[in-house]
Amino acid sequence: MLRKSVIDQYHCKYEKYLHAEDYELWSRMIKYMELHNLQEVLLNYRCHTNQVSVAHSDIQIETTENIKQNMLDFLTDDKELQQKIMNLVCPPPAQPVPQKLKYTFWQRVFSLRNHNRYKYLCILGVKIKFKRKFKYYIVRLQGGLGNQMFQYAFGLALKAKIRKKVLFDTSWFDEVLKLADSKNEFANGVAVRKYELDIFNKDIPIATSKQLSYCENRPEEKNAFIFDDNLFKQPDATYFSGYFQNEKYFKRIKKKIKKEFTFPQIAKDDDFNQNWLRKIDECENPVFVHLHRGDYLNLRGWALTAEYYKKAIQYIKEHVKNPIFFVFGQDCEDYIKNELLSHPELVSESLKFEIIGEKNSQNKEDWKDMALMMRCKHAIIANSTFSWWAAWLGRANEQGVVVVPTPFVNGQDEIICDNWVKIERI
């Protein structure tokens, strides 16, 4: 598509360059106008043996070389530089295209006499990759709801400190679905997670594939639980992949995080959860107990022992008046009866346990469990980001006692808040 008035103004007409007239015309037109290559294919070109580029290829190649030489002469009189440019276009058989060009070479190219040098180089066939400045960061979302919340909180903290746009990558959830079996699990028995941040009804900016491709700086998270201030010192267009499970990343914007993670109201016709809300609110000292078993049983060293829960319940009993324990998790009733209540010191006391179980989880509404946990004044959490957030966002963190296992995971404890009570997990 050409603007005819420009062609007439500069007398751009075909010259006698046999079998390469178009190419020669473009090489002259870039002196006077802007050219743009459409990124979408509008017309498929049919190749056959009678076309000019096949039947007269020798003549076309010779003519094209003459046109390229004319462009080189227009750019510079330096024959050595001309040859180096041409080596990028058509490298000699024994000389591959260099992976990294010396700075001095490009310094000479960019000091050429004509402001159209970039366009000439492109028409010659030299691929120039400009380092564009993209003032944004991308944070990868992955794992379950608790993990996603840590990653989103890290992104918000990054935005608050660096004051630049932060996008989020959700491609992980599509990738893991391809690896899942018919039970929606990985080969090691760990459940496949889905994107769950949409429950907070936030317009979370999701990165496009093009924006992802521009992020060449991809620092590795050294440890999911250890605060790393260097992550806040990365250049633009950085892609962050990790778990960032440390309150220090976002503690300075605590109020904002709590506001962002506001669950919707549980529906009035949701009898199951409304009943539990009422029971919790009627208690003077409700304590939530989170049993994270399920897929943890398939991960060596992750599942907590009954001994931890026994000691945690004993601690609450000694420090909280008339506690009532609301138990969340898989196989709660049998586990409480067979493992916890078999402990002599617990049996002798009139401790009251309310088994909420895993109905919300089975209904794919795990967030409702977290919302119920947040209403409790005290907490016995698992080594789980899910119950970590329930304690941190809810009443327990400000008004009550939070009991947490130590070490939390893999010998690391930095995820544990300073005001929480550590109980040995063994």
Query: Do residue 117 and residue 26 come from a single domain?
Result: yes
Of all residues in the chain, what percent carry a pLDDT higher than 70?
Answer: 76
Task: Tell me which long-range contacts 159-162 makes (C-beta under 8 A, separation of at least 24).
Answer: 160/252, 160/253, 160/256, 161/232, 162/137, 162/232
Does the model's pTM come out above 0.85?
no
Is residue 362 within 8 Å of residue 339, measured between CB atoms?
Answer: no
Mean pLDDT of 192-206: 92
Per-residue pLDDT at 332: 65
Which pLDDT tens digit goes with each residue over 175-197? 887 776 555 554 444 567 899 99
| 167 or 60, which is more confident | 167
Please give the pLDDT value at position 35.
Answer: 64
Taking only the tens place, the pLDDT of each residue in 376-405 is 999 999 999 999 999 999 999 999 999 999
pLDDT greater at residue 132 or residue 286: 286
Boundary (domain end) residue, out of 260, 287, 304 = 260
User: 354 - beta bridge partners?
Assistant: 326
Per-residue HEC secondary structure of 156-211 comes to HHHHHHHCCEEEEECHHHHHHHCCCCCCCECCCCCECCCCCHHHHCCCCCECCHHH
Residue burial 277-313, b: 16+ Cβ < 10 Å; e: rest = bebbeebebbbbbbbbbbbbeeeeebbbeeebbbbbb
Q: Quick one: 254 and 278 in the same domain?
A: no
Please check the confidence at residue 166 and state whether its pLDDT lies above 70: yes
Q: Are residues 39 and 86 in the same domain?
A: yes
The reply to whether 284 and 402 lie within a common domain is yes
Verify that 245 and 284 share a domain, yes or no: no
With beta carbons less than 8 A apart as the criterion, state whether 33 and 26 touch: no
Q: Lowest mean pLDDT: which of 179-193, 199-213, 234-248?
A: 179-193
The amino acid occupying position 146 is: G
- The verdict on residue 323 lying in a domain is yes
| Burial status of residue 165 (CB atoms within 10 A of its CB: 0-12, 13-18, 19 or more) | middle
Integer CA distances (angstroms), 25 to 1, 21, 126, in order: 14, 6, 19
Name residue 326's beta-bridge partners: 288, 354
- Domains in the chain: how many in total? 3
Regarding whether 318 and 237 lie in a shared domain, the answer is no
Map residue 94 onto helix, strand or coil: coil
CATH of the domain at 387: 3.40.50
In a domain, 266, yes or no: no
Cβ atoms of 386 and 293 closer than 8 Å: no
Rounded mean pLDDT of the chain? 82
Which of 371 and 35 is assigned the larger pLDDT? Answer: 371
Quick check: 109 pLDDT over 60? no
- 78 with 27, same domain: the answer is yes
Q: In angstroms, what is the C-alpha Rg of the chain?
A: 33
Q: Per mean pLDDT, which range of 148-157, 230-239, 286-295, 383-392 is the poorest?
A: 286-295
DSSP, collapsed to helix, strand or coil, labels residue 259 as: helix
- Mean local confidence (pLDDT), 265-289: 97
Q: Please check whether residues 141 and 246 belong to one and the same domain.
A: yes
Query: Which is more confident, 334 or 96?
Result: 334
Which residue range forms the structural domain that includes residue 375? 271-424
- Per-residue pLDDT for 239 more than 60? yes
* CB atoms inside a 10 Å sphere around CB 315: 15
Residue 290 has pLDDT above 90, yes or no: yes
Query: Over 60: is that where the pLDDT of 107 sits?
Result: no
| pLDDT digits 0-9 by tens, 327-356 | 998 766 677 777 776 666 665 567 888 999
Cβ atoms within 10 Å, residue 45? 7
If one compares 257 and 338, the residue with the highest pLDDT of the two is 257
State the virtual CA torsion across 317, 397, 166, 208 in degrees, nearest 10: 30
320 contacts: CB under 8 Å, gap ≥ 6:
285, 287, 378, 400, 401
Top-confidence residue, 406 or 64: 406
Query: Which band of pLDDT confidence, cut at 50, 70 and 90, is reported for residue 13?
Result: confident
Whether residue 389 lies inside any domain: the answer is yes
Q: Is the pLDDT of residue 37 over 70?
A: no
Please state which of the ranges 142-146, 197-201, 303-307, 400-404 shows the lowest mean pLDDT. 303-307
Give mean pLDDT, residues 42-68: 77
Query: Which residue in 406, 410, 152 sits closest to 420, CA to CA?
Result: 406
How far is it, in rounded angstroms, from Cα 141 to Cα 166? 12
- What secondary structure letter does DSSP report for 348? T
